[in-house]
């Protein structure tokens, strides 16, 4: 057999065995790992640092940072107010072309706008002319876009506020439960807390709607429960609805919050299921036994030595977090920035490469 064939069958070895001089560096292994973990460009996972592993070049986390107002909420409120204002004005102008049980012109216009936007469609108010029907078609499509894209951001924001309070409550009895611990807990079980909080809010809204229908609309408990179910699921059969002025004023707010809350809860459950499967895959990848074939696949530069960066990339690919296209794109960007083709990036490389572009 040729020497090349023997070398091809020779398994990959760690650096210490390929180069005996590396054995003298064993005392610096832990410090190297700490430097890798504290790299400014390295992603910081929850399982890679402890309470003392905090960047020294960043200001300490202040508890008030957990409660900063999300700018998306103001944008959501602005678009919602604009939609309801335009919708109310339009439907008020064509109020004589809308048939059904009416209470107050402006209140009925707002109520019809909300029922149309959330696709509940009780049928207690219906457009009766071509112009009003075309107007309703335009507002139902624009309302669905608003509900699906903008109101979900507001729901996310409100749920995150509540889940932060929930986690802080869990840490009240722990003397070491500081802001960093709360932040770690939020990032680790983010979706799970969202599911809990959204479900609790939905139950409260469901009970509130049932009690209101029984108290103000004088419905029996079973019929009130039936009306709430048909509303939050946007079925809107129409045999039971809000008929009084007080009821429609309540429905304007309650229909919006309850339908969005249910939709968000179902979305979080689906995301939690996908995340659980992803975590199981990650656990399997990190606990399974490494073979020579794995080392050969992880050896990207084919130098028979697997660097830490190569091993991390291989594991990320195995977890499904990145693929070959991602790696190829990053390597292409690296080669474009490596102006002197030394295999390392310096400030001069970046300046020269960007100047050439």
Residue 54 included in any domain:
no
Residues 6+ apart with CB under 8 A from 78: none
Per-residue pLDDT tens digits of the chain, which is 357 residues long: 444 444 444 455 444 444 444 444 444 444 444 444 444 444 444 444 344 433 334 344 344 443 454 666 677 778 888 999 999 999 999 999 999 999 999 999 999 999 998 889 898 999 999 999 999 999 999 888 887 766 566 656 656 655 555 555 555 545 455 566 655 655 667 778 888 989 999 999 999 999 999 999 999 999 999 999 999 999 888 888 999 999 999 999 999 899 988 988 988 888 888 888 878 887 888 888 888 888 888 888 888 888 888 888 888 888 888 888 888 888 888 888 888 888 888 898 888 888 887
Residue 258 included in any domain:
yes
Q: Which of 286, 304, 332 is the last residue of a domain?
A: 286
139 and 175 part of one domain? yes
270 and 339 part of one domain? no
223 and 193 part of one domain? yes
β 98-100/125-127 pair status = antiparallel
208 and 266 part of one domain? yes
pLDDT at res. 251:
95
**Rg, the chain, Cα only:** 30
Alpha helices for 19-104 (secondary structure H): 29-37, 71-93
155 and 223 part of one domain? yes
Place of tokens 């991602």: 326
189 and 313 part of one domain? no
Total count of domains within the chain = 2
Q: Give the domain range for residue 297.
A: 292-356
Terminal-residue alpha carbon distance, the chain: 51
147 and 210 part of one domain? yes
Residue 198 included in any domain:
yes
Q: What angle do CA 205, 235, 92 make, to 5 degrees?
A: 85
Q: Which of 266, 286, 306 is the last residue of a domain?
A: 286
Backbone angles phi, psi at 60, to 5 degrees: -65, 150
Q: pLDDT tens digits, residue range 218-275?
A: 999 999 999 999 999 998 888 889 999 999 999 999 998 999 889 889 888 888 888 8
Q: What angle do the packed helices 221-232 and 245-287 form, to 10 degrees?
A: 60
Tokens matching residue 65: 């940072």
Element (H or E) spanning 318, and its range? Answer: helix 308-319
Residue 17 included in any domain:
no
CA–CA dist 264, 342 (Å, integer): 51
220 and 257 part of one domain? yes
The domain that contains 109 carries what CATH number? 1.10.287.70
């Amino acid at each position: 057999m040729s020497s090349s064939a023997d070398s091809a069958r020779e398994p990959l070895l760690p650096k210490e065995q390929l180069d005996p001089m590396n054995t003298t560096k064993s005392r610096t292994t832990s410090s190297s790992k700490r430097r890798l973990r504290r790299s400014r460009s390295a992603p910081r996972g929850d399982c890679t640092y402890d309470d003392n592993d905090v960047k020294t070049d960043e200001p300490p986390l202040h508890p008030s940072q957990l409660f900063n107002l999300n700018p998306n909420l103001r944008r959501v409120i602005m678009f919602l107010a604009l939609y309801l204002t335009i919708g109310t004005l339009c439907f008020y102008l064509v109020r004589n072309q809308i048939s059904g049980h009416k209470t107050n012109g402006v209140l009925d216009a707002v109520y019809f706008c909300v029922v149309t936007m959330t696709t509940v469609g009780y049928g207690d108010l219906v457009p009766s002319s071509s112009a009003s029907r075309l107007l309703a078609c335009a507002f139902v499509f624009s309302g669905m876009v608003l509900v699906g894209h903008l109101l979900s951001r507001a729901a996310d924001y409100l749920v995150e506020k509540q889940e932060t309070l929930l986690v802080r409550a869990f840490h009240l009895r722990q003397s070491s439960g500081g802001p960093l611990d709360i932040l770690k807990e939020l990032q680790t079980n983010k979706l799970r807390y969202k599911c809990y909080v959204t479900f609790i809010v939905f139950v409260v809204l469901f009970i509130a709607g049932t009690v209101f229908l029984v108290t103000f609309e004088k419905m029996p408990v079973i019929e009130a429960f039936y009306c709430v179910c048909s509303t939050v699921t946007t079925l809107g059969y129409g045999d039971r609805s809000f008929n009084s002025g007080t009821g429609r004023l309540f429905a304007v707010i309650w229909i919006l919050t309850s339908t969005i809350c249910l939709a968000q809860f179902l979305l979080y459950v689906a995301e939690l299921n996908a995340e659980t499967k992803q975590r199981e895959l990650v656990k399997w990848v990190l606990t399974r036994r490494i073979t020579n074939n794995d080392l050969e696949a992880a050896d990207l530069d084919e130098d028979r030595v697997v660097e830490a960066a190569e091993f991390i990339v291989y594991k990320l690919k195995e977890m499904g977090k990145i693929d070959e296209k991602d790696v190829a794109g990053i390597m292409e960007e690296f080669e474009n920035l490596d102006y002197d083709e030394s295999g390392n990036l310096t400030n001069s490389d970046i300046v020269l490469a960007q100047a050439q572009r």
